[in-house]
Structures are given as C-alpha cells and as structure tokens.
Amino acid sequence: MEIRDTAAVISGAGSGIGRATALALASRGARIIVADINEAGGNETVDMIGAAGGIAVFRKVDVTHTEDLAAMLACSVEHFGQLDIVYNNAGIGGEDLFADDPGDWAKMIDINLTAVIDATRIAVRELRRLNRPGVVINTASMGGLLPMPGSPIYAATKAGVVNFTRSLAYLAPESRIRVNAICPSYTDTPLVRRSGDERVEAMKLQVGGILQPEDIAAGVVELVEDDSRAGAIMRVTVRGGRDFARDIRP
C-alpha cells in the first residue's frame, strides 16, 4: 500500500512505539488518528506531527471498551473520510504471577489480547463496509514466540496475538484486507523504563542490546507497504534485524 494520502489509526500512540510509528507514517503523507488513554501524551504526539508538517487528531480511547474502539475507528472516517491502516499497538506489561500480589494479570489479557481481537474485528467490518483495501497490524512480541518464565501471562497474550494474526491471512484474497503482526525484542519505551534501570541493564545483557521505537516503526512501515504480506509475523531483534517467522503469504 502506498502510504501517502492514507488515513491511519494508531492505539497507544501517546509514547514509545506508537508515537514513533505515528511520526513515521505521517512523514510519508498519512493522516493520523492518535489514540491513547493518556491525553497529555497523545496531544504531544499530535503537536509533534503538526510541527513536522503532518496532520493528526487525538482521540482518547480505553481499548478495553468496545464502544471506544468503534469510536476510534469512526473518528478516521469522520475527520479524513477514509480508513486505510489500523495499528493495534496499545499494551501493558509487568507481573509476578506467584507473588502474594500477582498484579492485575486479567487486565493484561484484556488490553494485550482481547482488545487486539476486538479492534481487529471492528476494523475488518468497517473496511468491508467501506469496500476498501486495508492493513491491520498488531503489536505482539518476541515473547509471543519464545518462553518468558518471568512473564508467563504477557507471553501468553502475545502468543495469542501471533496465532490470531496468522489465522486471518485468508482475508487478503477474500477482502483485500491484510492482517500482520510485529514482534519486537526488548525496546526502549516508557513502559520498559518503568521496570527500573537495573532491570533494563540486565535485559540488555540477556538479549544483546535494546531496540529503539524507531526500529519498530520501520518494520510497521514495511508491513504497510509490502502488499505480499498477509498473516505475516515480523520479528525485530538487535542481532537479527527484521525477518519473518513461519512466513505466510496469500
């Protein structure tokens, strides 16, 4: 898909990978719906896009609410008259499953997996209604392809995103809608930094370094532009760069 003159909706675009992707797509001529629960961060992303000469609108969204997801996607049609790209990027981490207080691991499932399924479902229905080709990209993780003993629920949610995405490859020849996923390795985002500098340094040693959000944004751009990719799972790692796991093509 040619990115120029498209309309893209990005959840979790108030910081990190979502913000970097919003900036990357806007720089190529896409108009952006910046969706986030964080109003300050979302509006900051909008301002950054505007300062660079792009067009963006903020939409507050709680991805665990179906009505918010539907309104987020409708916002693109309302403001730009079209919907072409949906990037389901919002996610959370952090758990200690067997601690006295294991944290709200059910919320992690709601945000990292259920919301991705729901947003994809709504996006596909809307693209079909508009009779437009489209691209849906879901943020998974290398933790969805490999065991994560320290974060088993997180790994489970991302593995769910991976297989959910693979299972939708059939939409490309049927509806001209491509659904792909991107699996970053350890990435320098505010979410990761909240785990503390000691944890960050330990993980950098374990995986060989840390990616920048712009590395992931470049992968998203590639998945949007490459019309041959449907049900594809792109891995992004420090050592290997960008490649594909069990490549599926329509």
Catalytic site residues? 154
- Residue 238 structure tokens: 């420090």
* Pairwise CA distance, residues 203 & 209, whole Å: 8
Helix (H) or strand (E) holding 246: none
Asked if 141 and 165 touch (Cβ cutoff 8 Å), the reply is no
Give 122-146 as a DSSP string: HHHHHHHHHT--EEEEEE--GGGTS
* Pairwise CA distance, residues 11 & 26, whole Å: 15
Asked if 28 and 3 touch (Cβ cutoff 8 Å), the reply is yes
* Pairwise CA distance, residues 169 & 173, whole Å: 8
* Pairwise CA distance, residues 220 & 4, whole Å: 15
* Pairwise CA distance, residues 41 & 57, whole Å: 13
